[in-house]
Chains A and B, each alone.
Chain A
Amino acid sequence: LHFESDSTAAAAAGLPQVSTSLGQDIPFCPMTPMTPVTPVTERSGIIPQLQNIVSTVNLGCPLNLKFIALQARNAEYNPKRFAAVIMRIRDPRTTALIFSSGKMVCTGAKSEEQSRLAARKYARVVQKLGFPARFLDFKIQNMVASCDVCFPIRLEGLVLTHQQFSSYEPELFPGLIYRMVKPRIVLLIFVSGKVVLTGAKDRAEIYEAFENIYPILRGFRKQ
C-alpha cells in the first residue's frame, strides 16, 4: 500500500480522507479488507465458456417411435442401428434422443436455460403428435466448458508433480488428462494453454475447478 500525498487523486479513487497532524489528507486504507475476497493476483480473470450441456427428462408416457419418425420433421429413426428417434431443432441448436419408454436425452445446448427450453420444445413436438407428454425430472447430467489460459504449459512437469491425478500419454492423446478430486471434474490440458473441463453437474463446479487449476498451471508456464 502506498499513500498518495496528492489528496485529489485519492479523493477521486473514492477512498475516505483522514487528516494528519501535518494537515495533509491521506486516504484511509484498512490493512485488512472489509469483505473477504481473493486477492487480485490470485484470481485468474478468465471465465470458462460452456460448450455443451447434456440433460435428461422423462416424458412420462410410452411412445410409438415409428409414428413419431414418420410424422415429425427433422427426425431420423433406424431401429437396426439405435433404438431411439434422433430429433433436431434449430432454435437452441440441439439434438434429442427420444426412447420408446418416454425418456429423452437432450444434447448440444450452450446454457442450462437453453437446454431446458429445448427439452420443453421437444416435449411440445411429441405432445402435438398426440401423446400425453409431461415434463418430469428434468436434470442436467453433464456440462462441458472450455477456456484459454493464454500461455504455453509444460505438461511433462505437471505430470511429474501431480502424478496421482494426471495421465499424460502422448502416444494415446496429445493432452494431459487431469482428474480433479474436490469438484469431481476431468480437465483436458493442452500444450497451447487451452483447457477443456467436463463432468460437471453445475456451473459452479466448473468455475471452482478452473480456479483450482489456474495457479497450478501458472507454475508450469513455459518460459
Chain B
Amino acid sequence: MASKRQKDSPEEEKKQASSFPDEVLECVLGFVKSHRDRSSVSLVCKDWYNAERWSRTHVFIGNCYSVSPEILVRRFPNIRSVTLKGKPRFSDFNLVPLNWGADIHAWLVVFASAYSFLEELRLKRMTITDESLEFLAKSFPNFKALSLVSCDGFSTDGLKAIVAHCKNLTELDILENGIDDLGGSWLSCFPENFTSLEVLNFASLNSEVNFDALERLVARCKSLKVLKVNKNVTLEQLQRLLVHTSQLTELGTGSFSQELTLREYSELESAFSNCKNLYTLSGLSEATSLYLPALYPACVNLTFLNLSDAALQSAELAKLLPHCPHLRRLWVLDTVEDKGLEAVGSSCPLLEELRVFPAEPFEQDVVIGGVTESGFVAVSQGCRKLHYVLYFCRRMTNSAVAAVVKNCPDFTHFRLCIMNPWEPDYLTKEPMDEAFGVVVKTCTKLQRLAVSGLLTDLTFEYIGKYAKNLETLSVAFAGSSDRGMQCVLAGCPKLRKLEIRDCPFGNAALLSGLERYESMRSLWMSACHVTMNGCRLLAREMPRLNVEVIKEDGSDDTHAEKVYVYRSVAGPRRDAPPFVLTL
C-alpha cells in the first residue's frame, strides 16, 4: 500500500508503517460518525489526527465554553453541522440568572468566515438574539437545519428572518424555548415557491399562525416528514393538514378537543387512517375519550407516543395502548395514575423508555392521585426491556425499587424524582439508600442516575462502589456529609457531569475531586457548603479548569452559593457578566 502513495516527500521513508495514503484514510474516516470514535481516531498518531480533522463534517460541543470558535475552526476546516450546548442543565429550572451567557453570536461571526457552507446548527440552552438569527439567515447560503431547544433571547421576529431567507431550509425545530412570542406571522414568511421543508416543529410556540399559510406550506412541501403544530391548530384544521401529508413519520397535533360533527369526525378518522407511516405522535392537548379513538388507525406503527401534554385518565390510556403494539417509548402525565401504568405493563411488552411527568408539580399536600410505587412496579413487571425511566412521584419504597430493577436489570438511565425533598421510604420511613443501592448494584450498564428522597451518605457509597459506568449524576437534597460526594468522585471513573443542589457537601468534598474535574465535562454545585476560599483553592490548583461562582444578592461574601466548574482549553470566559466571578 505504501507504494501507492502519490505524494513525494522526504518523510515517505519514515512512513513505512503507515499503510494508507491520506486520501484513503480520509475517505474511510468519513464513515466514522460517532464523535467519540472520532476523538479516539484523532489520538492514534499525527497522520490520523490530520486525516480526522479534514474529514470531519459534524462537531458536537457539549459545553460551549470549553473551547473557543477560533480554536474550533483552526482544527476543523470542513464543518457543515454544529451542535452546541451552553448553560448548565439546572438553568432549565431557573437556577441560573438571566444574561449568564452562552450567546451564540461570537460563534456565528467566526463561522461566517470559516464555514460559509454551514448547513446545520443545533443549539441547546444557548442565548440567541433576533439579530443573530438574521445574521445566520443571511450569512450561510446553504443553511438547511435549525434546531433550538431550551434556548432564549429571541422572538418570533427572529424566526421570520430564517424563514424568509433560508431558501434551502429543511428543518425548523423550535422547542421549549423561553422566547418572546410576538405572534404567528413568521410562518407566513415562507416564500410561496419554497418547498424543501422536511421538519417543522413549532409545538411550543403559543401564538396562532395563519392556517391558510400553513396549509399551503404543508401541501407544497412534499418531503415533509415531521410536523408538530401548536395548540391553536384545531382538530378540523388538523384533518385538512393530514390530507396533504400521508408520508409523515412524526406528527404533533394541536388541541385535540373540539365540537365536531359526525361527518367531521369521520373525516378525521379517515385522515388518520392514511397516516400509516407514523412512528411518533405527540401533542394531543386536551384530548378526551371522545376523539381519541379517531387516532387508533394511525397508531399501528407507533414507536414513540408522547402524551405529556394530554391529561389522560387511566381508562383512556388503557384503551389507547392496545392499538400501539410496537411502542418503545412512552411519555405520560401522572393523571393516568397507577392503574394507567398497569395498563402500560400489560399492553407494551416492547417498551424501553417511560417518562411520567407530574400534572401538578407544585401541589405539596399528601398524595392525591398521581403515581406511586405500585405503578412503577406494575410497569416493570410487564415491560422487561425497560432501560430508560424518568419517574415523578410523591411516594416510593425501597422494596418497590428493588422489585423494579429485579424485573428490569438493564437500566441505562434511572431518574427517580420523589417530589417532596427528603421524603423517606413510604412504608418503613427509612432513607431511600437501599433503593439506589440496589439500582447501582444490579444495573451495571447504568449511565445516568438522578436520586431523590431521604438519602444519607450510604447512597453515595453505593454509587461510588458499584456505578462504574455512570456518566451523569444529579443530586438534590441528599447526603449527610462531604463523604458522600467524595465517594462518588473517587469511585465513578466514567463520571462526566455532576450536578448537585442543596446538599451538605463542602470544601473537602469539592477539593477531593481535584484530579477528576479535568476528565469531566462539568460540575455544578448550588446551595451547598462550599466557600469562596475553597473555590479559590481549586482554581489555583487546577489552572485548566474554569471555576466560576455566581454571586447572589444578599449572600455573604464567603459563601459560594452557585459554583460551576468545567474544563476548558479556551481559558476563562471573556464574556462573563458581573455576577459571574471567575476565580
Q: Do A and B come from one complex?
A: no
